[in-house]
Chain A
């Protein structure tokens, strides 16, 4: 680990002021950041600890939604009775991620900002445009079993590893931020993550020094909520493909649907056109295939991850079957 100075923030304004300085990094749970620092993928010169800030509450919002403080731990968010009752897809997604020890430490804001688990991003002896812009991408012609099939660029084929963010994408969550001037901003999660393009090192729309303070959830949409994760072992592994679905259907006909996918792209993947194909459609294979076609439009593999195309199709079909046969 490279040497750094440590400071504990007493206020969000102080944290934002410190975070804007070059080389500064905010630490919350630290479960991803410290891992990366040990490998010298991340080398902050000043670490700003925000764990003592009062941002760890889950509150009801006037419109019937929830406001989740950025320091709410993943385990507490998954276990919150309101989340379990109204946002089952979020609770399930959180419980599908990491291990209990990590969920006890990992925070809401930190989960959103965790970095890709691309092997080459983690290995500082290998080229990686995300870690070292301009050095190239070793994954495109390398081992790419876990990599993206959608929204890739010739510079980066990394995926975003979060389960939580995929569920939040179906729920149309909003990310609240504050900067050093105290200005607050609300960023819809659809606009929060960027595709790699030719700047894969820039992953979100956050500006330097802008700090996440909370994530808000609007009232839950109607329908059954499901999170299905496909991975190489039954627990404690990242998604090869995951589907967060909220589908409202009755007697074999779908009224509305929201679908977001993990493990496929640089950000949680959601296709409005695919969801439209399900609206007022009969719950049958033809409909499900049409939706899968729309989700996978433009998808292509890089050898090791070609299997993700049929796997996505099957996982989506399985989820839609499960929901529409039970309602």
Chain B
């Protein structure tokens, strides 16, 4: 199949052209997918006879750019990013809020984008991994992850980095964690144990955890 993806402008719809060769090579799946609206495919409702619900208009401010979308209400924020806006940096790991690979920042707070609907965030400001670098200059956490080898396969990395940004902001604002000894103190010192507990919503199956902790410490200006 041709690589239409590479010629596509950011945000443009994904088109799959079907010709005789495509069908022979890929079977009927491609035909099925093109016959259905993309939102329904992303929402996982292939193959039933239910009428589609009325679409919803959603406006999202993502990485400083305004996007107007018309979506099946089932579309999760993660699917809106990946399937409708081609922002595939946020990853779909478990799709059930257990792995953290889909972590993005909404109004500066980290959340799992797989466990929320895009329409619930109409009018809100979202930052994804694609929005962190300033031109060619990486975000300090991105630099730190590279310098400390904070990954192996890299699949969890965008979630780890977005999560770490949210975590450092939470820590600076004095938010306690489960391992904070004294809750009555206004701010807890960011120890290794604090970083590990606060980052426990991001799983790394390559187990790059020690290097992730070091990278976060560097970005936080702590001795590593």
Query: A residues engaging B (CB < 8 A)?
Result: 1-6, 27, 30-31, 34-35, 38, 47, 49, 51, 75, 78-79, 81, 84-85, 88, 91-92, 95-96, 98-102, 104-105, 234-236
Contact of B73 among A6, A79, A105, A236 (CB under 8 A): A6
> Which of B9-17, B42-50, B59-67, B215-223 participates in binding chain A?
B42-50
Residues from chain A with a CB closer than 8 A to the CB of B52 are 3
Query: B residues engaging A (CB < 8 A)?
Result: 43-45, 50-54, 56, 72-74, 76, 95-97, 100, 103, 109-112, 115-117, 119-120, 163, 166-167, 170, 173-178, 180, 183-184, 186, 196-202
Residues from chain B with a CB closer than 8 A to the CB of A236 are 200-201
- Report yes or no: B183 in contact with A88, Cβ–Cβ below 8 A: yes
> Do A75 and B175 form a contact, CB below 8 Å, given A3-B45, A5-B73?
yes
Residues from chain A with a CB closer than 8 A to the CB of B95 are 38
- Report yes or no: A31 in contact with B176, Cβ–Cβ below 8 A: no
Residues from chain B with a CB closer than 8 A to the CB of A79 are 173-176
Residues from chain A with a CB closer than 8 A to the CB of B186 are 81
Contact of B116 among A5, A30, A78, A84 (CB under 8 A): A30
- Report yes or no: B184 in contact with A34, Cβ–Cβ below 8 A: no
Contact of B120 among A27, A99, A100, A101 (CB under 8 A): A27
A76 and B41 CA atoms in complex are apart in Å by: 36
- Report yes or no: B73 in contact with A47, Cβ–Cβ below 8 A: yes
Q: How far is the CB of B76 from chain A (nearest CB, A)?
A: 7
Contact of B51 among A3, A81, A91 (CB under 8 A): A3
- Report yes or no: A30 in contact with B44, Cβ–Cβ below 8 A: no
Contact of A84 among B97, B120, B176 (CB under 8 A): B176
Contact of B184 among A3, A75, A84, A105 (CB under 8 A): A84
Residues from chain A with a CB closer than 8 A to the CB of B111 are 101, 104-105
- Report yes or no: A101 in contact with B112, Cβ–Cβ below 8 A: yes
Residues from chain A with a CB closer than 8 A to the CB of B198 are 100
Q: How far is the CB of B73 from chain A (nearest CB, A)?
A: 4
Contact of A105 among B115, B167, B174 (CB under 8 A): B115
- Report yes or no: B112 in contact with A84, Cβ–Cβ below 8 A: no
Q: How far is the CB of A57 from chain B (nearest CB, A)?
A: 17
- Report yes or no: A235 in contact with B178, Cβ–Cβ below 8 A: yes
A5 and B173 CA atoms in complex are apart in Å by: 38
A75 and B166 CA atoms in complex are apart in Å by: 12
A100 and B173 CA atoms in complex are apart in Å by: 14
> Do A105 and B116 form a contact, CB below 8 Å, given A3-B51, A3-B52?
yes
- Report yes or no: A75 in contact with B178, Cβ–Cβ below 8 A: no
Contact of B117 among A6, A75, A235 (CB under 8 A): A6
A88 and B180 CA atoms in complex are apart in Å by: 12
- Report yes or no: A75 in contact with B170, Cβ–Cβ below 8 A: yes
> Do A92 and B116 form a contact, CB below 8 Å, given A6-B56, A34-B76?
no
> Do A49 and B120 form a contact, CB below 8 Å, given A4-B74, A91-B183, A99-B200?
yes
- Report yes or no: A96 in contact with B184, Cβ–Cβ below 8 A: no
8 contacts between A and B (CB under 8 A): A3-B45, A5-B73, A35-B115, A78-B175, A79-B175, A95-B178, A100-B163, A104-B109
A234 and B193 CA atoms in complex are apart in Å by: 11
> Do A30 and B115 form a contact, CB below 8 Å, given A88-B183, A100-B201, A235-B200?
yes
